[in-house]
Chains A and B, each alone.
Chain A
């Protein structure tokens, strides 16, 4: 008996998407093309609801201010309230955790050299909740527990690509050594290209984003060597969030010699507010 990583789900987590859905305004020529890109995914996840989602995201100055800036923080608590980001909390269900698996990952990954910050009390922001909404719609409660994994991509230096991929591999091994038959999906969120600040705000790089998706699927090792400066220059100051997708990718079993994953769904759309939306489902 052991747990397995069965799939990766990747998705942008643009706040405006959540606002549109929450207010019942996510239709019309602006939103329809984006929502259409998630229709197959919603059907897929109904058939493939995991036992646990390990969800990699970044906090946007909500749970973590400048008081405390953990590079890698794992939510080990039983539940995670929804943050008030300044507009009032999103009207979505609170997130339930999976403390047993989360602590197992802590137990396995820290001795491998990844010094995770253990967080029992954590409010989760749009980075975590918007991918849930895009995949599950608006249920009364989320269909499975979620382990939040927050990565600092706000205060520099941020984690390198190499470190992120290696961490993902360690997390994948830890999940697969959990002595219970659990179907675990590892989700990577954020990106794709976008810049929210300064006179260069609005930057979008479609060829770069699509090349990133190609390489994330086929050759994450090479992709992991890309420097943060290239992310900044090519994908915008907030495009650096994409480094988190390498953590998710590292957890897939092909990184340990299993067969290459199957691309179940791939979608790309510009824009949602200021951002290029990328979405990918890989099955192990």
Chain B
């Protein structure tokens, strides 16, 4: 583990550090453009054409079109920026969160009502690897 990234052993978590920010710059800036209603309309009308206006990698564009939030996170997206895509789709934040966990929206909502995901067993990557 890198000495200056002591958070890499936290499972299921992407920390938006300088490296992520650098590779995700245009992906996140594209998301910001969706704050304008006219851009939201234009994006929904032709996603590919709209994405091609941005200096994003093909991987990033594919991740957006397939709404794969975990992939977008790994390619430098930050959740607050990516949330603009969900808003454009008319999705709640909870629906977006659920989609990253492999749970259905109902299962996820039920987990939250029951007190959320426990930190026990979810603090260290080694705890997740031991489960596999």
Report whether B80 and A154 are in contact in the complex, using a CB–CB cutoff of 8 Å.
Answer: yes
Distance, CA A195 to CA B15, complexed state (A): 11
Q: Which residues of A contact B122 (CB under 8 A)?
A: 200, 203
In chain A, what residue has the closest Cβ to B103?
A202
- Give the size range of A's interface with the partner: 35 or more
**A70 interface contact, C-beta 8 A:** no
Distance, CA A62 to CA B117, complexed state (A): 28
Report whether B16 and A204 are in contact in the complex, using a CB–CB cutoff of 8 Å.
Answer: no
Report whether A86 and B100 are in contact in the complex, using a CB–CB cutoff of 8 Å.
Answer: no
In chain A, what residue has the closest Cβ to B21?
A155
Interface locus among A37-45, A217-225, A231-239, A245-253: A231-239
Q: Which residues of A contact B104 (CB under 8 A)?
A: none
Can you give 8 contacting A-B residue pairs, CB < 8 Å? A66-B21, A86-B34, A86-B88, A155-B16, A198-B73, A200-B11, A203-B117, A204-B116
Number of B residues contacting the other chain (C-beta, 8 Å)?
Answer: 55
Q: Which residues of B contact A202 (CB under 8 A)?
A: 97, 101, 108, 111-112, 116-117
Report whether B12 and A200 are in contact in the complex, using a CB–CB cutoff of 8 Å.
Answer: yes
* Interchain nearest-CB distance for B1 vs A (Å): 11
Interface centre among A157, A200, A208 (most CB of B within 10 A): A200
Q: Which residues of A contact B87 (CB under 8 A)?
A: 85-87
Report whether B119 and A199 are in contact in the complex, using a CB–CB cutoff of 8 Å.
Answer: no
Distance, CA A83 to CA B36, complexed state (A): 11
Q: Which residues of B contact A87 (CB under 8 A)?
A: 87
Q: Which residues of B contact A83 (CB under 8 A)?
A: 35
In chain B, what residue has the closest Cβ to A197?
B79
Could you say which of B28, B116, B124 contacts A61, with CB atoms under 8 Å apart? B28
**A84 interface contact, C-beta 8 A:** yes
Report whether B80 and A232 are in contact in the complex, using a CB–CB cutoff of 8 Å.
Answer: no
- 14 further A-B contacts with Cβ under 8 Å, apart from A66-B81, A86-B83, A273-B92, are A15-B93, A16-B94, A155-B78, A156-B18, A196-B79, A197-B100, A198-B100, A201-B97, A202-B111, A233-B7, A236-B13, A237-B79, A271-B115, A274-B97
